[in-house]
Structure 1
Amino acid sequence: METELLGYAAGILTTFAFLPQAFRMIRTRQARDVSMTWAASTTAGVFLWLCYGVAKQSLPMISANSLTLLLLFVILFVKIRDRGNPGS
């Protein structure tokens, strides 16, 4: 049980770390300061962590990585959408 609580705490903190960036990108509709390499590789990595969590049947890993993946999809979407705009 203690390791599950540790997993939830880690998941909450790491997922929360993406909220400010996602909200800022939604609000400003700009993604010029976000690296496409970072966005793509982090999204792929979190997807793999989600797959690992599913394989291990770890609810903390599944829930945290699902939410983080959703936030990363928002960041990636704004970055791809703004790629064609000058200054983005």
Structure 2
Amino acid sequence: MSLEWIGALAATCTTLSFVPQAVKTIRSRDTRGISLLMYATFTFGIACWFGYGLVLHSWPMIVSNAVTFVLSATILALKLKHG
């Protein structure tokens, strides 16, 4: 029996929990309260999780980390531009 559904549930929850903050930051362009070092490290970590998901052929890891990477990289870019 595959337990891939647990990974899918976890990936969905963690990715969805990130979306409201990302949307708020993208809309407002306000990055004053965001740590550049934290977002740079977080974005790099998400890229690593994405790569790990590719190696394991784990679609929950691949999809969730691809979405989270796009959101976090966007916020990081906004921080670099407006920070």
TM-score (normalizing by structure 2)? 0.92
Distance, in Å, in 2 between the alignment partners of 1:33 and 1:65 is 24
Q: Which residue of 2 aligns with 1:86?
A: none
Greater helix share, structure number: 2
Mapping of 1:13-32 within 5 angstroms? Answer: 13-32=13-32
Q: Which stretch shifts more, 12-21 or 45-54?
A: 12-21
Distance, in Å, in 2 between the alignment partners of 1:61 and 1:32 is 30
Identity of counterpart residues, as a percentage? 37
What CA RMSD, in Å, does the superposition of the two structures yield over aligned residues?
1.1
Mapping of 1:23-62 within 5 angstroms? Answer: 23-62=23-62
Q: Which residue of 2 aligns with 1:9?
A: 9
Distance, in Å, in 1 between the alignment partners of 2:38 and 2:16 is 18
Structure 1: stretches of 5+ with no match in the other structure: 84-88
Aligned AA for 2:35? S
Q: Render the CA deviation track for 1:14-66: whole Å, top value 9, x for unaligned.
A: 11122111111122111011101110000000100000000011111101111
Deviation beyond 3 Å, 4+ runs, structure 1: none
Distance, in Å, in 2 between the alignment partners of 1:55 and 1:69 is 17
Deviation at 1:2, TM superposition (A): 4.6
- SS for the counterpart of 2:3 is helix
Aligned AA for 1:43? T
Distance, in Å, in 2 between the alignment partners of 1:37 and 1:17 is 21
Distance, in Å, in 1 between the alignment partners of 2:27 and 2:63 is 25
